[in-house]
Amino acid sequence: MPNLIETQTLSRAFNGQPAVRALDLEVPEGAVYAFLGPNGAGKSTSIRLILGLIRPDSGTITVFGLPLATERLAVLRRVGSLVEMPSLYPHLTATENLAIPARLLQRRSADISRVLETVGLSSVGRKLVGNFSLGMRQRLGLAQALLGQPELLVLDEPTNGLDPAGIHEVRQLLKSMPSEHGVTVFLSSHLLSEVEQLATHVGILSQGTMVFQGAVADLAARRQSRLRVIVDRPAAAAVLLNARGWSTDRQGEALIAAATAPAAALNRILVEAGFDVHQLVHEEDSLEHMFLGMTQSEVR
């Protein structure tokens, strides 16, 4: 798959403080790419750079194979975006709010109805946005992003403010974008569950630097697994297992053995030696654990 977004050694600082450092981003066409990172990692700055809202101090940005620096308008014509909170005019109705970008994107009123339907706001199209809840505003922001039938969606925290049902709907919508509409989705999030359920690719950012980038499957392959054993006398059990060639670590009342250890054999050794085995669980690193490991080691 060719890359739809590519940045090379992209950097940007604010008042001498680097926000993004030598970022090499690669978003494949047809992907749902999740951009992860703790607050202040540089996600929003990266998104603003990609949308041309701010200029880089150094480095290049290419979108659809076009250099953003010289082809900004040609790129933006094919991009739908939602940056942080939706940009809306509270004194206008939902339909009127959409009529503004529709005019600039040369779209018809049928397109406004279409996107209102897509985000589930058809029934409130004539209501003033000032009376909308946070979730409704977020949906309308998504409708704005979808209005121009973009080939690329760039979304900053798209499920912000939505209730669980709304989050589920938006996730399903975004998930279907590549297959049903041929749209590549690039979204930032700090919700790891969102990434696990939604993304095909992931980039993890820490202090402005990319610490991991690749397919979610590649990230999963990096997960470490282990056996957690809970026995009545862990110290004695550890001595026994070590004597039999299984190296273990103590973690509170539990023993942690390598995942390669055959669970059944290990259980038999302990039971035959008179230990009570209360639990024997195969554990795998969660994405959260990996995320924290990657981002906190950078912080340190």
Task: Pick the closer one to other proteins by CB: 103 or 108.
Answer: 103
Minimum CB distance to other proteins, residue 184 (Å): 16
Closer by beta carbon to other proteins, 132 or else 275? 132
118: number of CA atoms within 13 Å, CB side? 24
| 48 vs 226 by CB, closer to other proteins | 48
Shortest distance (Å) from residue 90 CB to other proteins: 7
Residue 218: partners with Cβ closer than 8 Å, 6 or more residues away: none
Least gap, CB of 98 to other proteins (angstroms): 11
Q: Which is nearer to other proteins, 30 or 52 (CB)?
A: 52
**C-beta of 277: minimal distance to other proteins in Å?**
58
Q: Which is nearer to other proteins, 85 or 261 (CB)?
A: 85
Closest CA to 115 of 100, 125, 106: 125
Least distance (Å) between residue 183 CB and other proteins: 16
Catalog residues that contact other proteins under the rule CB under 8 A: 48, 51-55, 73-74, 76-77, 79, 81-92, 96, 99-101, 103-106, 144
Taking alpha carbons only, the member of 193, 184, 191 closest to residue 81 is 184
The least CB distance from residue 83 to other proteins, in Å, is: 5
CB-based contacts of 290, cutoff 8 Å, min separation 6: 219, 222, 223
Rounded distance between C-alpha atoms, residue 264 and residue 74, angstroms = 62
The residue (of 101 and 234) whose beta carbon lies closer to other proteins is 101
| Alpha-carbon gap, residue 44 to 33, rounded angstroms | 15
Shortest Cβ 104–other proteins spacing (Å): 5
Q: How far apart are CA 250 and CA 257, in angstroms?
A: 9
Q: Nearer to other proteins by C-beta: 113 or 267?
A: 113
